[in-house]
Structure 1
Amino acid sequence: MASHQDSLVFKVRRCEAELVRPARPTPHERKRLSDVDDQEGLWFQIPGIHFYRCDGSSRDPVWAIREGLARALVFYYPFAGRLRELPGWKLVVDCNEEGVMFMEADADVTLDQFRDALQPPFPCLEELLFDVPGSSAVLDAPVLLIQVTRLKCGGFIVALRLNHTMSDAAGLVQFMKAVGEMARGANTPSILPVWERELLDARDPPRITCTHREYDQVEDTKGTLMALDDMDHRSFFFGAAQMAALRGRVPPHQRASSTFEILTACLWRCRTIALQPDPEEEVRMLCIVNARTKFDPPLPAGYYGNAFAFPVAVTRADRLCQNQLGYALELVKKAKADVTEEYMRSLADLMVIRRRPHFTVVRSFLVSDTTKAGFGDVDFGWGKAVYGGPAKGGVGAIPGVASFYIPFRNRQGEDGIVVPVCLPAPAMRRFMQELDALLKEPAPTAATTDKKSTFVLSSL
């Protein structure tokens, strides 16, 4: 399926990477990450991207963001440090002011040329977020890389990559908003950062009190982890009509379920059918749940560490595929409800007892809802982003495992959610058939129309 991403090609000219250090001296010390932060499943880089329109001024976004970054690092000085590993797989930040890696660039393309390409997968992403040699390691490397690319129209792109052990999406947005505030002239961030990673450390003695099947050690006995070759990347749009169609597919007593719950149940079931696993094999859905408000009292407002869990729904493949959508929906709702303060305490204890295991990726589908994270609200002085959010789907180097829910306004001006999906090409064809069947009008009274020709936004 052809798309604008396939045809949009442009050149990016980058200056040599530099290190941006805090604008004023900061403490030289070592700060421990929490026992939730340094689990093996977070040892990778999170890529994000923001697009901004020209505001008619002659201000240079590169200069403004570089200055805002240096000033924000006075408060968020651990981001200017380097991660070190202590015995027992424990990570600490060596706060040494070495700096954040920063690149200035120019591209011979306008924002309007992106058109429908303003959602993952982005064209020429590797040029907009250049992997500086030696910069992508977890240890002894910059924990944050930022590239600001000017466009021909006067707009610009801010692409970044963060070591996930340092922060989750909420923490990253908090920091980027601080950079924006400082770039606009503020003296201090509106929300002061709070380290206090000990709040999510294991208890003494540690004790696992909840069930955490998201960390089951599952062997890939049937080769179900997807190969990197022949992968199809597409984005799917879910507006009011699509969500009404899906809501009409569940029993009346479930129709008050949240958009996230219904959409996750739908995608998990369609994806599993498309991948055609052994009917008797277990399949999993992991969803990221922000736990900041699950504590009593809640975590401090400025806490910018990882404060989420991967609750899991587990069932046999044949049960998921043969039952109606309501079956998957109940599993999703139960998984979300599992996350409590005790669950998070038990999770931190599990990390210490079981040596920080990776979450299960075999026959797993992970979803992360970024619709309320606020990526698009980051303002460096040019207003809100035209697009702000994840730069691509997936988790680290694992293809096809994860999808993000991203707020999006399509070309018709309709607000909704765009979801990047990555699958082997044959599975993608089956996935689209299953999804199309669900999106067709389920009942005469459903407030929806057949949108099969418009819900697929893009492919690469």
Structure 2
Amino acid sequence: MAAASSLAFTARRGDPEFIAPAEPTPRGLRRLSDIDDQGSFRFYRSVIYFYESGGRGGPTSTRGVVDPARVIRDALAAALVHYYPIAGRIRELPDRKLVVDCTSEGVSFVEADADVALEEFGDALCPPIPCAGELLSLPESNSAVVTNRPLLYVQVTRLKCGGFVFGTQICHNLVDAAGITQFLQAVGELAQGMAAPSIRPLWARELLDARGQPRPAFHHPEYEPASDEANDKLRPGDELVHRKFLFGPGDIAALRDQLPPRLRPRCSRFLLLSAFTWRCRTAALGYAPGDEVRFMFVVNGRGRSPLPEGFYGNALTFGVARTTAGELCSGPLSRAVELIASARARAMADGYAQSAADALVLRGRPRFTTARTYLVTDLTKSPLHEVDLGWGRPLYGGPATTTLATFHMPARCGGIAVPMCLPPRAMERFAAGVRAGLAAASPRAPQAAVLSKM
């Protein structure tokens, strides 16, 4: 892998402009669902794409190649005709209820140039993307004011090799990962000449609203404060370092062999790696044996809720596994797997999303709990990585950065990449724990994990 961590450059940005829908669109207020407008979604989620040169169609730039900025600008305007709420502004009503005011004011668009080539980013892109701040319009943050401002920020950065970077940041209250993927796929289809998106977008946010008399049917620890939150091992302002941990098929098979035979056939790669990294991370942070620790993960409600094709709002809930640090770290890997599997079964039960909406309204639309919590999103099967804007599949498509929350991401040769963000000494202990755990699982290949510092 190239030494991408030493990369430094400055993007030359043009002035931001607003891209409005290419045709007149409906006006008025559209309610966000009670899943959409929870406090933890009040931020802008980044998704960034790297494309090689060789696009099809569109005008020619001064470089003698198709100008991706012009193609994407026009495709955005066309897509916003169908996804017109994205061109509006969020307003806040009493009781912190959010609605979209469909004003057609447009999304923020910036075109830029950078004297850097794709190959200088390295051959294994993974968050945090080097110099991501130069490729995105907004500073990255896990919280933000989302009212009365554009809901989507786009930057197209042309590179000296002829490739380009498509950086997007969209308000999480409006869409989840599946929703932004659907929208970006529509942009790609229109960029390539289709008259309309292949999937017709539907609002339908009322399907994930709380009932008139909210009555949660499930327990929702994701919105309950952790005990003694002030005594967490991670605090705002801590120095943090990043590493990517690559688990190949051999690593995954070796870990699976540590499970009892009854668990092996039904333990997914997500369950297995989540259990393993949760134990390593908890030990690395040095929690006291009696401290409660949590594993929280995203559950996609599509396919389990009565949501129509084309729905692009937040259809996700959270599963939470809880135990003490002592039980987690001293017990077998199978115990952690079973805890997460039980939490997943609860979060996938019929009516769970409705219960979550009820709980959110009753509790005043709170943020979910982060103290002593390891939050993971599984992106290994997401089409987020496949958005084609006319330049073929991207070299990389996914989050630009990671924080204390992380992702499982597809890697080459069937592996899974897990970016990790921890204080320096905890990261050293975590890496050592991963090495030791894999060595114990596969004594013949103690260096099976590829640990690459980002």
Structure-1-length-normalised TM-score:
0.92
Pair 1:70 & 2:66 matched:
no
1:79 to 59, 82, 86: 86
Q: Deviations over 1:152-174 (max 9, x none)?
A: 11111111111100000000100
Distance across 1 between alignment mates of 2:99 and 2:241: 38
Name 1:457's counterpart in structure 2: 452
In the superposition, relative to structure 1, how do residues 132 and 329 fare at CA in structure 2: closer, same or farther (>3 Å)?
closer
Name 1:204's counterpart in structure 2: 212
Give the deviation of 1:327 after TM superposition. 0.7
Give the deviation of 1:450 after TM superposition. 3.2
1:242 to 248, 251, 259: 251
The answer as to whether partners of 2:275 and 2:336 remain within 8 angstroms in 1 is yes
The answer as to whether partners of 1:232 and 1:428 remain within 8 angstroms in 2 is yes
The answer as to whether partners of 2:179 and 2:311 remain within 8 angstroms in 1 is yes
Give the deviation of 1:372 after TM superposition. 1.6
Pair 1:47 & 2:46 matched:
yes
1:110 to 84, 107, 117: 117
Q: Which amino acid aligns with 2:318?
A: F
Q: Secondary structure at the match of 1:278?
A: coil
Distance across 1 between alignment mates of 2:2 and 2:235: 24
Name 1:381's counterpart in structure 2: 390
Name 2:410's counterpart in structure 1: 407
Q: Which amino acid aligns with 1:98?
A: E
Name 2:60's counterpart in structure 1: none
Distance across 1 between alignment mates of 2:387 and 2:82: 18
In the superposition, relative to structure 1, how do residues 326 and 428 fare at CA in structure 2: closer, same or farther (>3 Å)?
same
Unaligned runs of 5+ in 2: 57-64
Q: Within 5 Å, which residues of 2 pair with 1:282-321?
A: 282-295=292-305, 298-321=306-329
Aligned residues: 441
Name 1:397's counterpart in structure 2: none
In the superposition, relative to structure 1, how do residues 33 and 232 fare at CA in structure 2: closer, same or farther (>3 Å)?
same
Q: Within 5 Å, which residues of 2 pair with 1:191-340?
A: 191-218=199-226, 219-256=228-265, 257-295=267-305, 298-338=306-346, 339-340=348-349
Q: Secondary structure at the match of 2:231?
A: coil
Distance across 1 between alignment mates of 2:453 and 2:139: 28
Give the deviation of 1:188 after TM superposition. 0.7
Distance across 2 between alignment mates of 1:117 and 1:102: 28
The answer as to whether partners of 2:42 and 2:173 remain within 8 angstroms in 1 is yes
Q: Within 5 Å, which residues of 2 pair with 1:150-169?
A: 150-169=158-177
Distance across 1 between alignment mates of 2:170 and 2:453: 26
Give the deviation of 1:245 after TM superposition. 2.1
Q: Which amino acid aligns with 1:408?
A: A
Give the deviation of 1:253 after TM superposition. 1.7
Distance across 1 between alignment mates of 2:225 and 2:442: 43
Q: Which amino acid aligns with 2:313?
A: G
The answer as to whether partners of 2:242 and 2:419 remain within 8 angstroms in 1 is yes
Q: Deviations over 1:98-137 (max 9, x none)?
A: 111111011111111212452112111111113289x963
Q: Secondary structure at the match of 2:77?
A: helix
Distance across 1 between alignment mates of 2:21 and 2:146: 21
Distance across 1 between alignment mates of 2:232 and 2:445: 39
The answer as to whether partners of 2:247 and 2:415 remain within 8 angstroms in 1 is yes
Q: Which moved more, 1:223-232 or 1:18-27?
A: 223-232
Give the deviation of 1:441 after TM superposition. 5.5
The answer as to whether partners of 2:4 and 2:122 remain within 8 angstroms in 1 is no
Distance across 2 between alignment mates of 1:360 and 1:227: 14
Q: Secondary structure at the match of 1:337?
A: helix
In the superposition, relative to structure 1, how do residues 92 and 11 fare at CA in structure 2: closer, same or farther (>3 Å)?
same
Q: Which amino acid aligns with 1:356?
A: R
Name 1:34's counterpart in structure 2: 33
Name 1:442's counterpart in structure 2: 441
Percent same amino acid at aligned positions?
48
In the superposition, relative to structure 1, how do residues 208 and 132 fare at CA in structure 2: closer, same or farther (>3 Å)?
closer
Name 2:18's counterpart in structure 1: 19
Distance across 1 between alignment mates of 2:218 and 2:292: 20
Q: Which moved more, 1:370-379 or 1:74-83?
A: 370-379
Name the Cα RMSD after superposition.
Answer: 1.9
Q: Which amino acid aligns with 1:259?
A: R
Name 2:59's counterpart in structure 1: none
Distance across 2 between alignment mates of 1:425 and 1:53: 35
